[in-house]
Each structure stands twice: as C-alpha cells, then as structure tokens.
Amino acid sequence: MFSFLRQRFTSHLQERSRRRARLVSKDGRCNIEFGNVEQSRFVFLIDIWTTILDLRWRYKMAIFISAFLGSWFLFGLLWYVVAYIHKDLPEFNPSRNHTPCVENINGLTSAFLFSLETQVTIGYGFRCVTEQCATAIFLLIFQSILGVVINSFMCGAILAKISRSKNRAKTITFSKNAVISKRGGKLCLLIRVANLRKSLLIGSHIYGKLLKTTITPEGETIILDQVNIEFVVDAGNENLFFISPLTIYHIIDKNSPFFHMAAETILQQDFELVVFLDGTVEATSATCQVRTSYIPEEVLWGYRFAPIVSKTKEGKYRVDFQNFSKTVAVETPHCAFCLYNEKEAKVKEKKGYDNPGFVLSEVSETSDTKM
C-alpha cells in the first residue's frame, strides 16, 4: 500500500513538473516571462494603443473609469479657479449687477457638475458660460475637444477589444490528444481540429513546431530548439474548406523527428509539439491564429480517432462532438523504422535477385533398368 501511494505521488510530481515546463498551454496561452529587460517600461507608452488592447478587462475598465472621472475632476478644479479669480463665488458677496463667467457655480461641487455637463454634452440649462470671460470660453472649447478625444479613444479601445480575432480563435478547438497510427499505408501522427462556427476561416494554414532541448556538436545546449513539423490533410495544408472537423496528419518518414521514437520510448522523450492554425475571419477580414500543444503523455501510440460525421435521413450532415476526442485502439507498428523495414522486405520478396556466382551444371541421365 505504501509503495503504491509513493508511486502515485511520484507520478503526480512528474506530471506537475511537465506542466510547469510547458511553453504553450492547451488553450494557446504562452507560459513565458521576461526578466532583466534593459529597456524602460515607458517604451510601452509609445505604443499606447497596443498596450491598452493587451490589458485585461479589469485594468481596461479601471483606466476607462479613471480617465473620465479624472478629466471631470481636473476641469472642475479649473472652472472653480476661473470662478474664484473672477470673484463669482458667494463668499465674495458679488453685487446684483455682477455678471459671472459661469452662471450658478457656487463651489467645488457645482464646478464639478458643470465640468461633467460640458464634457458629456448633457447641458441641463441651469449652468452656462456667459460672454463675460474669454478665459471661460477658451476653457469650454478646450474641454469639449479633449472630451471628444477621450470618448473616441476609450470607446474605440473597448470596441477593438471586443472584436479582436483572439476571441474568434476560442471557437476553434483541437483534440485533447494526438494519436499515432497507420494512414494510407504510412505511419502518421494525427490531430483533429474543429470549427465550432458555421462561418469559415478563409485561407487557413496548418503547421507545427517541435520544441525540444538539443546539444550542438560544439557542446552548446539550446533550450526550446524549434523543428518544423509539416501537417497535411488529403486536400493539402493550405486554403482548407474548414466547415467540418478535419483530421490533420504528419507523415513519420525518415526526415521526421518522430522517426526514431517508438511506442515503448515516446514517454521518455522530452518534447512539446505546438500546432498552429492561421486564417482570416470571414466576417471581419481580420487574421487570427489558434494554437495548442501536446506533450509525450498526450500522444497516444496505436490509436485512431472515432468517426464523428454522419448523414441523417433528411440528407443533412451531422457532427457528433461527443466523439471529437474519443480514440479507438488499432493495430500499429511499434516504431516507424520497423514499418519501413517491413515494406522493404516485402518489396525484395516480390522482385527477386540474380546470383552472378551461380553456375548451372548439366547432368546426363542414364538408364540402369535391365530387362
């Protein structure tokens, strides 16, 4: 019992360590951080638009509210200063024939309310600017222009955040596991991908990167070394008709990094397969990228995906997503090297070879039968 618990605990720790080392999560987020960046963080303010778009919603809304409240309060102080300098406040006891710069500003609160009315163009009619002060007229124009700029920027940032193609990518899903089995007489690594919307992704392109640690002949250790992995479907890997779930596959040939792996050794390998899907959103013409990753524990050797598309009696095609990540065990060679050796042996059996050293000797037949 104790050994069983220790084994489970050890396997759990190994699984957690692998998850920590994962570069790309299943939903496509990158697990990476930058340290000791020499450039100042103020460089992000140069591209303030991208910085605002990349912020999370809670920070974006905090900036949105702070921008409006801050501008209202700042201009409220300025209106209060104008009224104070022109001695329009009740504490100065203005005469009855005194014309204030702004009607009915009696303190800081009323100045704040007038600032809010001016910037959001509410205009209740109770407070208004008179033609007595050129300073007040200039401040009114300046606040109106600045208010339009703030409204345009913040509303545009929220609209762009909502309509980003990143949200469209969430409706593209990959299978939980990748499988390795024979397809068309070749050993292939297969992954299933589906579009959850009926709208297409135009010009879709699928490719992969195998991330692993390699050591160069010079002794340099390269962490996250990238190796290209070509994925195809029966119609090619570009301009996919992505209306129903597709099964993409990578042929494990002699040029594949999976060629020297076997069913018994794949779990001991240290790699991460990152799969990318690039396309253009049909509705907005914006490009988007969907990505996911697979570690050795998520690559099932000797399995294939269960059927997912069927045809109903009404003539419609039905996609059953209950079987989307379901796999079925099939007979599969335990390594690609064995499959290719088996094919070469069968080819040699069919061909036949001449032996140049073979000499045919004639034997004379004699009859030993006596009558």
Please give the model's pTM, rounded to 2 decimal places: 0.67
* pLDDT of 363 over the 70 cut: no
Q: How do the domains of the chain map onto residue ranges?
A: 48-161, 168-347
Per the prediction, the chain carries an average pLDDT of: 81
Least confident span in 174-178, 294-298, 357-361: 357-361
Output b/e per residue, 223-236; b: 16+ Cβ within 10 A.
eeeeeebebebeee
What single letter denotes the amino acid at residue 322? Q
Residue-wise pLDDT tens digits, 152-162: 998 888 888 88
Span 357-371, average pLDDT: 52
Instruction: Compute CA 356 distance to the chain's CA centroid, rounded to the nearest angstrom.
Output: 63
Contact 334, 264 (CB under 8 A): yes
Contact 220, 264 (CB under 8 A): no
Closest listed residue to residue 294, CA positions, set 329, 319, 323, 267: 267
pLDDT band at 75 (very low <50, low <70, confident <90, very high): very high
CATH (residue range 168-347) = 2.60.40.1400
What's the rounded Cα separation, in Å, for the pair 72 and 113?
A: 8
pLDDT band at 371 (very low <50, low <70, confident <90, very high): very low
Contact 224, 213 (CB under 8 A): yes
CATH topology of domain 48-161: Helix Hairpins (1.10.287)
Residue-wise pLDDT tens digits, 143-191: 999 999 999 998 888 888 887 767 777 788 899 999 999 888 889 999 9
Residue-wise pLDDT tens digits, 84-133: 999 989 888 888 888 899 888 989 999 999 999 999 888 787 888 988 88
Q: Comparing 48-161 with 168-347, is the CATH topology the same?
A: no
